[in-house]
Structure 1
């Protein structure tokens, strides 16, 4: 496992004059804030959540989420849509 640090700057403070913001957010399941996955809203807390997941992974020496434990065939449509 090779630890890498990155800029999590997904959440940006918006000017009050801005009424609409369009963004294309990419992320890895397990590192993305569950609030974003369910409500599609990024906040500063989203960055803190992702950073916390990385810190936990570094301290434990293990991956926080193992995506390989669920066979691809057993994913339901609801689970797929929730994570994509």
Structure 2
């Protein structure tokens, strides 16, 4: 903690507040973490959502396993074998 005249400055500030004390504060933004927890932001442009780095790069384009005798290059005929529509 640095003393500058009669003003004290510090980056970490804690304040003891008695139980059942009514408080009012201005909430500007939230910072939401991947685990569902959040932090209150009292300064602008500090809020947002944490990026889940563990899921980056997992999306892959490829063939879906349809589990049948389908040619992967032919269009899917949704009416084929559908007896409920009368055809």
* Bigger relative CO (Cα 8 Å, ≥ 6 apart): 1
Normalising by structure 2, we get a TM-score of: 0.20
Q: Comparing both structures, which one devotes a greater share of its residues to strand?
A: 2
Larger radius of gyration: 2
Normalising by structure 1, we get a TM-score of: 0.20
